[in-house]
Chains A and B, each alone.
Chain A
Amino acid sequence: MFYREAGQFKSTYAADMAVFPIRQDRIGLAIILLIAFIGIPLIGNDFFITSVMIPFLVFSLAAIGLNILTGYTGLISLGTAAFMGVGAYACYKLTTAFPGVNIIVLILVSGLFSAAIGVLFGLPSLRIKGFYLAVATLAAQFFLQWAFVRVPWLFNYNASGAIEVPQRLLFGIPVTGASASPETRYFVCLCLVIVMTWFASNLVHGKIGRSWMAVRDMDIAAELMGIKLLNAKLLAFAVSSFYAGVAGAMMIFLWYGGGEAADVFNIRLSFNILFMVIIGGLGSLIGSFFGAAFIASLPTIMKFGLPALGVPMSGATAEHVTFMLVGALIIIFLIVEPHGLARLWQIGKQKLRTWPFPY
């Protein structure tokens, strides 16, 4: 009743190729953006913004990055966290070397360093496939993680071995460092995520995205059709690592604040991002957001939600039960809907389209 495209005619090719061809979708998107830009800063308190919204945005960006590699190009990677780490450390090196340059520019540029490293570790993908490749990307994970601790040049020979986030201004307002307010950091994250999602959406709907999907469905067939596997696979690694790198830089500079940098980019983070992609839906941008929301908010919900409901739990027990529940939920989700939350969303939209007279 409310979600019908009847009567919406497309009179130009541009309208036919639009990402959101249905008017209700565009309205929905506008409402979501309004809530994100105005509603959440007005309603949410600092705790909600720093420990729910910012992690959600950072993980969404990382999940989009991995989705480009795994969901669109079909190359499994278990090294996402390491590429995020490259972004974070590159950003730190850049901002200490060029303190005058705008921090947003540096966050984006540090993604390029991550992309270069990603291409380097993506080279084996030309020769090996599937799970063999997944294990090969673990080489990147462990090597880079080792480098973050053992190569003192990366943290400017600090005695503590940690990187610290300096204060940087944008239009005279502190964006990073201890004095930046949660709202400012949230807005910066939000703008970056929106711009990069828009960019990713154009990428995957265009020629490049189609060549990636052809490689995913069968790389030999794609090669016979004239797609250069070398270019397509390495470009996927580069773009994916770029997104991961920007997400990593955002994670340290806009969320954590540097102290944990040495051990936050561990293999468990890589797995978590892979979960987000799988549970959200392989090959779906909106699925990356769903997956990130689900996995990122689950520990918080378990930690604060259950005691609020009157289920008494100590910290350690809650942690164990969280592990069990996450494991069980992953299995249940895979059984109920192997194509992820994005497919559930599709089904829901289809139901809504025929509601209330589904015949």
Chain B
Amino acid sequence: MSDVAARPAPNLLANPWIKAGLIVAGLIAAAMLGARLDGSGTLYKIFIDPFDQMAAAPDLLAQTIWEGLVSGVLYALIALGFVLIFKASGVFNFAQGIMVVFAALTLVGLHEKGVPAWLAVILTLGVMFLLAVAIERVVLRPLVNQPDIILFMATFGITYFLIGFGESVFGGSPKQMIADQLYLPKGAIDLKILGGLVSLQKIDIAAAIIASVMIAVLALFFQYTRIGRALRAVADSHKAALSVGISLNQIWVIVWFTAGIVALITGIMWGARSDVSFALEIVALKALPVLILGGFTSIPGAIIGGLIIGIGEKIGEFYWGPLIGGGIESWLAYFIALGFLLFRPQGLFGDKIIERI
């Protein structure tokens, strides 16, 4: 029994969570102390005032979080397309953002030409399928086995091509999404909670529901179908998948087509909130911090990363943005992602990077 007493006490600091928690607690304590002692009030404005505002007007906070949640869902949808392609083919598909715009433009453009709305959706799906086949044939197949950065650059090429092609076919002017014809709801629900009004756009609720349904369908598809199994096999190892008779070319077409469907749905949702134009391209870059936050290879990572980024940047912009001149939404997402990345270099849910010499 004597060795129990001799055993050293467990080192609590060795646990990374406890360590991180202590650091955060120390920082908060230091900040609060500093804010009380600081004469000029700068620290007060940074560390105390925003939280005071949050506590004083919880309805505003709820509204901000809701808006963050919605934009997070949309970022997550774009990131989802990235993840699908990266998992299956190891290609960092920069063109996903432009595929969203292209799909939405095709849909609207076809409807303008007099095609009924639902037929236009089906035709657009056909176009996205053709695009997937073309990309596989023209770009991926000749570039097989090239270094990652070459394939990355090739998707840049696809991006430029699609921008030029889309603009010369459908014109560069912004267009209205055909939300009514697709039976998407309009208007807003006003909730009386927390001593104020919180207004929820119906289209946002629809977007959240559709995104959840789509993610569930994708998960089922990956888990229980033959093609889904083949996709997971390819994601694990190209060579092993080839050796059990899975056709890589077919899988790539399927994956790019799936990403195209995701792009179309994202495009419809996004187009219904604002309008359809190539300005969305810059917004689509917001999906990149979501990706590195969640990890390139994880679908749940894309969703949770999207929500963290969406809520984080809306709250940051609303409560801290005015302190330094506003408009910080354009880069805050990247810094949030960078902060996470310094602790987990592979993202929150990404595969652990193991390097051998």
Contacts and interface: CB of A to CB of B under 8 A. Distances in A.
Interface in A266-320: 267, 271, 274-275, 278, 282, 316-317, 319-320
A221 B357 CA distance: 6
Given A127-B341, A331-B138, A151 B149 contact: no
Nearest to B328: A146
A328 B161 contact: yes
A325 interface: yes
Contacts of B168: 317, 320-321, 324
B28 interface: no
B279 to A, nearest CB: 13
A145 interface: yes
Contact of B164 (A130, A271, A321): A321
A224 interface: yes
Nearest to A328: B161
Contacts of A129: 345, 353
B289 interface: yes
B292 A218 contact: no
Given A139-B338, A146-B331, A150-B325, A324 B164 contact: yes
A311 to B, nearest CB: 14
Contacts of B355: 220
Contacts of B330: 142, 145-146
A282 B337 CA distance: 28
Given A150-B325, A224-B357, A338-B150, A275 B296 contact: no
B51 interface: no
Interface in B339-354: 341-342, 345-347, 353
A150 B327 contact: yes
A331 B152 CA distance: 11
A143 B150 CA distance: 27
B interface residue count range (under 10 / 10 to 19 / 20 to 34 / 35 or more): 35 or more
A136 B153 contact: no
Interface string A212-225: 00000010110010
Contact of B341 (A136, A138, A331, A338): A136
B149 A76 contact: yes
Interface stretch (B115-123, B140-148, B194-202, B254-262): B140-148
A138 B153 contact: no
B167 A275 contact: no
B160 interface: yes
Contact of B334 (A143, A317, A319, A338): A143
B164 A139 contact: no
A128 interface: yes
Interface residues of A, number: 48
Contacts of A131: 92, 148, 152, 292, 296
B218 interface: no
A267 B285 contact: yes
Contacts of A321: 164, 168
Interface string B273-310: 00000000010010011011000100000000000000
A322 interface: yes
A33 interface: no
Given A135-B337, A322-B164, A330 B357 contact: no
Contacts of A324: 160-161, 164-165, 168
A135 B148 contact: no
A323 interface: yes
B157 A330 contact: yes
Contacts, number: 140
Contact of B345 (A127, A149, A220, A316): A127
A37 interface: no
Given A127-B345, A135-B288, A331 B161 contact: yes
Contacts of A224: 357
A124 interface: yes
Given A131-B296, A135-B291, A135-B292, A334 B334 contact: no
A53 B18 CA distance: 60
B248 interface: no
Contacts of B142: 335
B160 A136 contact: no
A145 B329 CA distance: 12
B125 interface: no
Given A138-B285, A324-B161, A330-B160, A275 B153 contact: yes
B326 interface: yes
B335 interface: yes
A326 B153 CA distance: 12
A327 interface: yes
A331 B288 contact: no
A249 B170 CA distance: 38
A157 interface: no
A132 interface: yes
A129 B292 CA distance: 11
A76 B150 CA distance: 12
B241 interface: no
Question: Which of A151, A218, A275, A327 is most buried by chain B, counting CB atoms within 10 A of its CB?
Answer: A327
A124 B335 contact: no
B35 interface: no
B65 interface: no
B107 interface: no
A328 B135 CA distance: 12
Contacts of B172: 316, 320
B143 A335 contact: yes
16 contacts: A124-B338, A127-B341, A129-B353, A138-B285, A138-B289, A139-B338, A143-B334, A150-B326, A278-B153, A317-B168, A320-B172, A326-B164, A327-B157, A330-B157, A334-B146, A338-B143
Interface of B: 92, 138-139, 142-143, 146-150, 152-154, 156-165, 167-168, 172, 282, 285, 288-289, 291-292, 296, 324-328, 330-331, 334-335, 337-338, 341-342, 345-347, 353, 355, 357
| 10 A-B pairs with the lowest CB-CB distances in the bound complex, closest first | A323-B164, A327-B161, A327-B160, A324-B164, A139-B334, A330-B157, A142-B331, A320-B168, A331-B157, A143-B331
